[in-house]
Amino acid sequence: MTMDTFVPKPSRKPPMSTVGPLAWVRANLFNSTTSALTTLLFFYLLWLYIPPFIDWAFLSANWTGTDRSVCEANPAGACWTFINVRLEQILFGLYFGANPDEVWRPIVGFLLFFSLLIPLLIEGMPHKKWIALAMLTVFPVVFYALIHGEWIGQPIANTSQWGGFLLTFVLAFVGILLALPLGILLALGRRSEMPVIRTMCVLYIEFWRGTPLITILFMASVMLPLFFPAGMEFDKVVRAMIGITMFQSAYTAEAIRGGLSAIPKGQYEAAAALGLGYWRRTVFIILPQALKISIPGIVNTFIALFKDTSLVSIIGLLDLLNMAQSAARSIEWKGYDIEGYLFTGLIFWMFCYGMSRYSQVIERKLDTNRRDN
Amino acid sequence: MSSSPSESKIQAGEPIIRIQGLNKWYGQFHVLKEIDLEVAKGERIVICGPSGSGKSTLIRCINRLESHQEGSIVVDGIELTEDTKHINDVRREVGMVFQHFNLFPHLTVLENCTLAPIWVRKTAKREAEEVAMRFLERVKIPEQANKYPGQLSGGQQQRVAIARSLCMNPRVMLFDEPTSALDPEMIAEVLDVMVGLADEGMTMLCVTHEMGFARKVADRVIFMDGGEIIEQNAPEEFFNQPKNERTKLFLSQILQH
Q: Which of A275, A289, A370 sits opposite B116 (nearest CB)?
A: A275
Instruction: Say whether pLDDT at A68 is over 80.
Output: yes
Q: Which of A275, A288, A373 sits opposite B92 (nearest CB)?
A: A275
* Average pLDDT score over residue span B228-242: 94
Residue A362 touches partner B, C-beta closer than 8 Å: no
Q: Which of B82, B91, B164 has the highest number of chain A CBs within 10 A, making it the mutation to test binding with A? A: B91
Grade residue A17 by pLDDT with cuts at 50, 70 and 90: confident
Contacts of A273 in chain B (CB under 8 A): 63, 65, 91, 94-96, 165
Contacts of B84 in chain A (CB under 8 A): 277
Reported as a single tens digit per residue, the pLDDT across A207-236 is 999 999 999 998 888 877 777 776 666 788
| Amino acid at residue number B207 | V
* Average pLDDT score over residue span A183-201: 96
DSSP class of A16: G
Grade residue B181 by pLDDT with cuts at 50, 70 and 90: very high
Q: Determine whether the interchain pair B119/A280 forms a contact, defined as Cβ–Cβ distance below 8 Å.
A: yes
Q: Which of A271, A272, A369 sits opposite B105 (nearest CB)?
A: A369
Instruction: Say whether pLDDT at A348 is over 90.
Output: yes
Q: Which of A193, A265, A274, A366 has the highest number of chain B CBs within 10 A, making it the mutation to test binding with B? A: A274
The more confident residue out of B257 and A287 is A287
Instruction: Say whether pLDDT at A308 is over 70.
Output: yes
Q: For residue B122, give the chain A residue with the closest CA.
A: A276
For residue B60, what pLDDT is reported?
A: 96
Instruction: Say whether pLDDT at B206 is over 50.
Output: yes
The more confident residue out of A196 and A314 is A196
Q: What is the mean pLDDT of chain A?
A: 90
Q: What is the mean pLDDT of chain B?
A: 92
Instruction: Say whether pLDDT at B8 is over 90.
Output: no
Grade residue B4 by pLDDT with cuts at 50, 70 and 90: very low
Instruction: Say whether pLDDT at B6 is over 60.
Output: no
Residue A373 touches partner B, C-beta closer than 8 Å: yes
Strongest mean pLDDT among A23-37, A218-232, B123-137: B123-137
Residue A295 touches partner B, C-beta closer than 8 Å: no
Instruction: Say whether pLDDT at B233 is over 80.
Output: yes
β-bridge mates for residue A319, sequence order: A164
For residue B2, what pLDDT is reported?
A: 38
Cα torsion B4, B7, B8, B9: sign: negative
Residue A193 touches partner B, C-beta closer than 8 Å: no
CB B172 within 8 A of CB B203: yes
Among B207, B129, B126, smallest CA distance to B167 is for: B129
Grade residue B64 by pLDDT with cuts at 50, 70 and 90: very high
- The whole-angstrom distance between residue B134's C-alpha and the CA centroid of its chain comes to 21
Domains and CATH numbers, chain A: 87-99+159-366 (1.10.3720.10), 104-113+122-154 (no CATH)
Reported as a single tens digit per residue, the pLDDT across A95-119 is 998 998 999 999 999 999 999 999 9
Q: Determine whether the interchain pair A275/B88 forms a contact, defined as Cβ–Cβ distance below 8 Å.
A: yes
Count CA within 13 A, CB hemisphere, residue A255: 23
For residue A125, what pLDDT is reported?
A: 84
> In chain B, which residues touch A (CB < 8 A)?
63, 65, 84, 88, 91-92, 94-96, 98, 100, 102-106, 115-116, 119-120, 148-151, 161, 164-165, 168
Reported as a single tens digit per residue, the pLDDT across B77-104 is 999 999 989 999 999 999 999 999 999 9
Q: What's the ipTM? A: 0.91
Q: Determine whether the interchain pair A266/B165 forms a contact, defined as Cβ–Cβ distance below 8 Å.
A: no
For residue A23, what pLDDT is reported?
A: 84
Q: Determine whether the interchain pair A275/B105 forms a contact, defined as Cβ–Cβ distance below 8 Å.
A: no
Residue A368 touches partner B, C-beta closer than 8 Å: yes
CB A194 within 8 A of CB A288: no
* Burial profile A22-41: b = 16 or more Cβ within 10 angstroms, e = fewer: eeeeeeeeeeeeeeeeeeee
Instruction: Say whether pLDDT at A369 is over 70.
Output: no
* Average pLDDT score over residue span A160-169: 93
Q: Determine whether the interchain pair B106/A267 forms a contact, defined as Cβ–Cβ distance below 8 Å.
A: no
Residue A366 touches partner B, C-beta closer than 8 Å: yes
Q: Determine whether the interchain pair B106/A275 forms a contact, defined as Cβ–Cβ distance below 8 Å.
A: no
For residue A372, what pLDDT is reported?
A: 44
d(C-alpha B149, C-alpha A371), whole Å: 10
- Sheet (strand B78-79) strand order: B29-39, B17-26, B70-75, B78-79
CB B22 within 8 A of CB B89: no
Q: For residue A371, give the chain B residue with the closest CA.
A: B151
For residue A160, what pLDDT is reported?
A: 86
d(C-alpha B156, C-alpha B49), whole Å: 27
